[in-house]
Structure 1
Amino acid sequence: MKKIQLIITPVFLLFFALGFSQENFSSECSEILEKEGNRVVFGCDAGAKISLEFLDAKNIKFWYAPNGKFERNNESFAVIDEKFDPGFSINVDESNAAFEIFTGDLRVVVEKAPFNVKIFDKYQRLVMGDFAEEAYTTEGTGVTAKKILRKDEQFFGLGEKTGPLNRRGNSYTMWNSDKPCYSDVEDPLYKSIPFFLSTYNFGIFFDNTYKTQFDFGESSEEHFSFSAPDGPFIYYFLYGKNHKEVIGSYTKLTGQPIMPPNWALGFSQSRGMLTNEKLTRQIAREYREREIPNDIIYQDIGWVDGLQSFDWREDRYDDPEKMLTDLAEDGFKVIISQDPVVSQSTEGQWKEADGKGYFALDERTGKSYDMPWPWGGNAGVVDFTKPEVADWWGELQQKPLDDGVKGFWTDMGEPAWSNEEDTDRLHIKHHKGMHNEIHNVYGLEWDRVVTEQFEKRNPNQRVFQMTRAAYAGMQRYTFGWSGDSGNGSDVTAGWENLANQIPVGLSAGLGLIPFWATDISGYCGDIEDYGEFSELYVRWLQFGIFNPLSRAHHEGNNAVEPWLFGEEAEKISKAAIELKYQLHPYLYTYSREAYDTGLPIMRPLFLEYPTDEKTYEIDEQFMFGEEFLVAPVVEEGITFTQIYLPKGEWIDYNDPQQKFSGEQFIDYDTPLDRIPLFVKAGAIIPKMPVMPYIGAMDNAPMILEIFPSNKASEFTIYEDDGTTNGYKNDEFSKTKIEAVPGASAISVKINTPETSGYETEERNFWLEVHLEEEPGKIQLNGKELSSKALSELKENWNSDFNEEGHSFDKENNILYLKFPDTKKEQLIEIEK
Structure 2
Amino acid sequence: MKFNDGFWLLKDGVKPYFGLQVTQVKQDRDGYSLQVATKPIRHRGDTLGGPLLGVRVHSPSEGIIGVKIDHFKHLDPTPSIPLFPDDKAISKVSFSKSPASADTSVLSAGSVSVEITENPYTLTFKSPSGRVLTSAGYKHQALYDIPYKWTIGSAANSSCLAQDISSNPNKGNSTPEMVRYIHSELNISPGELVYGLGEQFGAFVKNGQAVSIWNRDGGTSSEQAYKCVPFYITNRNYGVFINHPGEVEVEVGSEKVSRVGVSVAGESLEYFVIYGDTPLEILEKYTRLTGRPALLPAWTFGLWLSTSFLTNYDSKTVSGFLQGMKDRHCPVRVFHLDCFWMKQYEWCSFTFDPDNFPDPKSYLSELKQTYGVKICVWINPYISQISPIFEEGVKGGFFIKRKDGTPWQWDLWQPGLAVVDFTNPAASKWYLDKLESLIALGVDTFKTDFGERIPHVDVVYHDGSDPMRMHNAYAVIYNELVFNLLKKHFGEGEAVLFARSAHAGGQRFPVHWGGDCESTFEAMAETLRGGLSLTLSGFAFSSHDIGGFEGRPPPEIYHRWVAFGLFSSHSRLHGSHTYRVPWEYGEEAAKYMAKFVATKHRLMPYLYNLAIHAHLTGHPIQRAMFLEFIQDRTTHHLDRQYMFGPSLLVAPVFVPENEESEYYLPAGRWTSFFHPERTLIGPVWVKEKVPIDEIPVWVKPNTILCLGPEGTGRPDYDLDKGIEVRLYEVDEGETVTTEIPSGKGETIAGSISVERKDGEIRVGVEGSVELAAIAVHIHGVSVKEIVGGTKTGQGNVVSVEKGARDIVIKL
Q: Tell me the equivalent position of 1:379.
A: 417
Q: Which residue of 1 aligns with 2:158?
A: none
Equivalent position to 1:43, from 17, 23, 35: 35
Whether the 8 Å contact between 1:55 and 1:84 is mirrored in structure 2 is: no
2:332–2:373 Cα contact (<8 Å) kept = yes
Which residue in 2 is equivalent to 1:299? 337
* Aligned twin of 2:530: 504
Alpha-carbon distance between aligned partners in 2 of 1:70 and 1:299, rounded to the nearest angstrom: 47
- Secondary structure of 1:402's aligned partner: helix
Partner of 1:352: 392
Q: Secondary structure at the match of 1:236?
A: strand
Residues 128-139 of structure 1 mapped to structure 2, 5 A cutoff: 128-139=134-145
Shifted more, 110-119 versus 600-609: the winner is 110-119
Distance of 1:427 and 1:41 partners within structure 2: 36
1:777 counterpart residue number: 785
Distance 1:126 1:14, change over 3 A: closer
- Give the aligned partner of residue 60 of structure 2: 55
Deviation readout 1:478-505 (Å, 9 max, x if unpaired): 320000011xxxx4xx111112222211
Amino acid at match of 2:52: G
Identity of aligned residues (%): 23
Q: In 2 relative to 1, CA 550–37 (structure 1 residues): closer, same or farther, beyond 3 Å?
A: same
- 1:735 and 2:750 equivalent? yes
What corresponds to 2:48 in structure 1?
none
Comparing 769-778 and 261-270, the one that deviates more: 769-778
Deviation at 1:579, TM superposition (A): 1.5
> What's the counterpart of residue 521 of structure 1?
547
Residue of structure 1 aligned with 2:360, choices 305, 320, 323: 320
Task: Note the 1:342-421 alignment, pairs <5 A.
Answer: 342-347=383-388, 349-363=389-403, 365-375=404-414, 377-415=415-453
TM-score by length of 1: 0.86
SS at 1:244's partner residue? helix
1:645-724 to structure 2, matched below 5 A, reads 645-688=665-708, 689-695=710-716, 701-711=722-732, 712-722=734-744
Give the superposition deviation at 1:814.
Answer: 3.0
- Between the aligned partners of 2:718 and 2:109, the Cα distance in structure 1 is 54
Q: Provide the C-alpha distance between the structure 1 equivalents of 2:634 and 2:719, rounded to a whole number of angstroms.
A: 46
Partner residue of 2:195 out of 136, 144, 156 = 156
Change (3 A) 1:413 1:73: same
Matches within 5 A, 1:326-337: 326-329=366-369, 330-337=371-378
Give the number of aligned pairs. Answer: 751
**Segment of structure 1 superposing worse, 135-144 or 313-322:** 135-144
Match for residue 808 of structure 1? 793
Q: Is the 8 A contact 1:331 1:696 kept in 2?
A: no
The one of 438, 446, 470 aligned to 2:470: 438
1:820 to 802, 805, 810: 802
Query: Is the Cα–Cα contact under 8 Å of residues 72 and 231 in structure 1 kept in the other structure?
Result: no
Superposition pairs for residues 557-576 of structure 1, below 5 Å? Answer: 558-576=578-596
Report Cα offsets for 1:420-441 as digits up to 9, x if no partner.
xxxx752222234243221111
Is 2:273 the partner of 1:237? Answer: yes
RMSD across aligned positions (CA):
2.5
1:799 is matched with: none
8 Å contact from structure 2 (residues 79, 470) kept in 1: no
Instruction: Answer yes or no: is 1:146 the counterpart of 2:138.
Output: no
Assess, with a 3 A threshold, how the Cα gap between structure 1 residues 82 and 262 changes in structure 2: closer, same or farther.
closer
Secondary structure in 2 matching 1:401: helix
Shift of 1:285: 0.6
Distance in 2 separating the partners of 1:511 and 1:124? 26
**CA–CA distance in 2 between the matches of 1:669 and 1:323?**
46
Alignment partner of 1:745 is 2:737: no
List per-residue Cα deviations over 1:109-158 (Å, max 9, x = no partner). 11212321111223222111013323234234311211122121111111
Conserved? CA contact 2:719–2:742, under 8 Å: no
Q: Which residue of 1 aligns with 2:80?
A: 76
Q: Quick one: which amino acid aligns to residue 63 of structure 2?
A: K
Check 1:223–1:459 CA distance in 2 against 1; reply closer, same or farther (3 A cut). closer
Q: For residues 357-378 of structure 1, what are the alpha-carbon distances to aligned partners after superposition, in whole Å with 9 as ceiling and x for unaligned? A: 1110112x22111132413x21
Secondary structure at the aligned position of 1:383 is classed as coil
What code does the residue aligned with 1:38 have? D
Work out which of the residue numbers 94, 97, 111 in structure 2 matches 1:105.
Answer: 111
The equivalent residue for 1:624 is 644
* Partner AA of 2:61 in structure 1: D
Distance change in 2, residues 1:93/1:743 (3 Å) = closer
Distance 1:227 1:698, change over 3 A: closer
1:208 and 2:244 are equivalent in the alignment:
yes
CA distance in 1, matches of 2:737, 2:83: 33
Measure the CA separation in 2 of the matches of 1:635 and 1:12.
Answer: 42
Q: What are the equivalent positions in structure 2 for 1:527-546 lying under 5 Å apart?
A: 527=552, 533-546=554-567
Q: What's the counterpart of residue 471 of structure 1?
A: 503
Per-residue CA deviation, residues 617-669 of structure 1 (Å, 9 max, x unaligned), is: 11101101111111110112344323211122211223212211122212334
Counterpart of 2:129? 123
Deviations 1:18-70 (A, max 9, x none): 694032323112302x4220022101223320001212342112110022x26
Counterparts of 2:376 and 2:130, CA distance in 1:
54
Distance 1:57 1:251, change over 3 A: closer
Q: How does 1:187-266 map to 2 (within 5 A)?
A: 187-230=223-266, 232-266=268-302
SS for the counterpart of 1:388 is helix
**Match of residue 831 from structure 1:** 810
With over 3 angstroms needed to count, the CA separation of the structure-2 counterparts of 1:549 and 1:104, relative to structure 1, is closer
SS at match of 1:516: coil
Q: Which moved more, 1:393-402 or 1:53-62?
A: 53-62
**CA deviation string 1:588-630 (max 9, x = no partner):** 1111111111111111110001111111111101101111111
Whether contact under 8 Å (1:208, 1:232) holds in the other structure is no
TM (norm. structure 2) is: 0.88
Q: What's the counterpart of residue 282 of structure 1?
A: 320
C-alpha displacement at 1:443, in angstroms? 1.4
- Report the CA distance shift for 1:662/1:352 in structure 2 as closer, same or farther (over 3 A): same
Q: Structure 1, unaligned stretches of length 5 or more?
A: 1-10, 419-423, 754-759, 786-804
User: How is 1:588-603 mapped onto 2 (pairs within 5 angstroms)?
Assistant: 588-603=608-623
Map of 2:208 onto structure 1: 169
| Deviation sequence 1:205-231 (CA, Å, 0-9, x none) | 111122211111122223221111236
Find the residue that maps to 1:359 and give its secondary structure: coil
1:800 aligned residue: none
> AA paired with 1:150?
S
The structural deviation recorded for 1:387 is 2.5
1:468, distance to aligned residue in structure 2 (A): 0.7
CA apart distance, 1:456: 3.1
The CA deviation at 1:462 is 1.4
Alignment counterpart, residue 457 of structure 2, candidates 426, 431, 435 = 426
**Residue equivalent to 1:6:** none
2-side partners of 1:59 and 1:137: how far apart?
25
